[in-house]
């Protein structure tokens, strides 16, 4: 499957489509991504909302975007995230991600990698099967009451 290959090679399928198939990322976004019925795909999660309020650190959503195509797992994406967030060199950074390649790059950057994957994992500093288990492996991230 070509999309799976592009995802594996580039971190997001659309990057491979742009490079090899002359797909316009803006058109793809308008005709494919924006047509997803997100109200059915993404569900409210009160447990996650409560957990995020207890995090004793700045939280940045580090997600891939279509354009310009600088995305995880490319080192440049991590460097851009640090710059855009105003994070100073030497600051301890954590990445919670479901992608093996993204965790590997985070580790190469000196970040703490937490592989969130339902099943076995040998990647990263820690492994959790669901995001709600974050404080079980990195309790220092939880605010003390």
For 20, the domain range is: 1-37
CA atoms within 13 A on the CB side of 56: 9
Residue 33 sits in a domain of what CATH number? 1.10.150.450
Are residues 72 and 135 part of one domain? yes
Q: What is the CATH number of the domain that holds 95?
A: 3.40.50.1000
Residues 19 and 72 in one domain: no
Please count the CA atoms within 13 angstroms of the CA of 58 that sit on its side-chain side: 11
Same domain? For 53 and 11 the reply is no
Query: Using one digit for the tens of pLDDT, what is the confidence trace for 15-26?
Result: 777 778 887 877
Q: Give per-residue pLDDT as tens, 78-96.
A: 999 999 999 998 899 999 9
- The pTM score is 0.77
- Residue 101 is encoded by which pair of tokens? 């390649």
Residue 31 sits in the same domain as residue 73: no
């Amino acid at each position: 499957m070509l999309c799976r290959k592009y995802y594996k090679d580039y971190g997001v399928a659309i990057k491979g489509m742009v490079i090899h198939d002359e797909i316009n990322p803006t058109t793809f976004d308008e005709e494919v991504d924006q047509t997803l019925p997100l109200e059915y795909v993404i569900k409210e999660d009160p447990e996650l909302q409560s957990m995020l309020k207890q995090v004793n650190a700045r939280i940045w959503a580090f997600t891939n975007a279509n354009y310009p195509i600088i995305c995880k797992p490319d080192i440049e994406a991590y460097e851009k995230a640090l710059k855009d967030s105003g994070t100073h060199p030497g600051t301890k950074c954590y990445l919670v991600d479901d992608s093996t390649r993204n965790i590997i790059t985070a580790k190469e950057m000196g970040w703490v990698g937490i592989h969130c994957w339902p099943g076995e994992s040998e990647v990263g500093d820690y492994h959790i099967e669901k995001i709600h288990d974050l404080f079980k492996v990195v309790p220092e991230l939880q605010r003390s009451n």
